[in-house]
A = this chain, B = another copy of it.
Amino acid sequence: MTRWLSDDERRAWRGYLDMNTQLSAQLHRQLQADSGLSLADFDVLVQLTDRAEPRMRVGELADALQWEKSRLSHHLARMNKRGLIAREDCPDDARSVFIVLTAKGKQAIEQAAPAHVDTVRDLVFDHLSAEEVAALAAISARVLGRLGRAGPEVAQ
């Protein structure tokens, strides 16, 4: 017997879905207009930036981003073509490939990041109380906990 959602739940769910859609659309527009990067590009570049070793194997990237390797492979090919990243042979393992940030990629992420953060503040955090920020973190943690435990299976 399926229980439908309560009114409050339905309201929250609809709000969440709409927020998602519009927020990511808006963040994408801003980033694209401001720096020519997509959100996906940005995420890749962030991974390559926030670490001591400037090189990263493709598999590491895939793990960090939680992307399918096929998606990543296609995306890296495009970013490579645009000169944002480059490939290097991996001496330890000839199957593997190092991905490195090019000067252009480094410049792109460094130029894009501040405006992106400003936008996130402007659209989200400037309007939330400390309690709401905490609630958002708690909610995410709960749901992610469930998703992690659940794996790819489906509600009974």
A contacts, CB < 8 Å to B: 2-5, 8-9, 11-13, 15-16, 18-24, 26, 29-30, 33-34, 66, 114-115, 117-125, 127-128, 130-147, 150, 152, 154-156
Contact = CB atoms under 8 A, between A and B. Distances in A.
A38 to B, nearest CB: 15
A65 to B, nearest CB: 9
B22 A121 contact: no
Nearest to A130: B8
B152 A26 contact: yes
Quickly give the copy total for this chain: 2
Interface SS of chain A: helix
Contacts of A122: 146, 155-156
Given A2-B118, A5-B121, 16 more contacts: A2-B114, A2-B115, A5-B125, A8-B133, A15-B141, A18-B140, A19-B139, A19-B144, A23-B143, A30-B154, A33-B154, A118-B155, A119-B155, A121-B155, A123-B147, A128-B139
Contacts of A139: 15, 19, 128, 132, 135-136
A99 to B, nearest CB: 21
Contacts of A127: 142-143, 145-146
Contacts of A138: 132
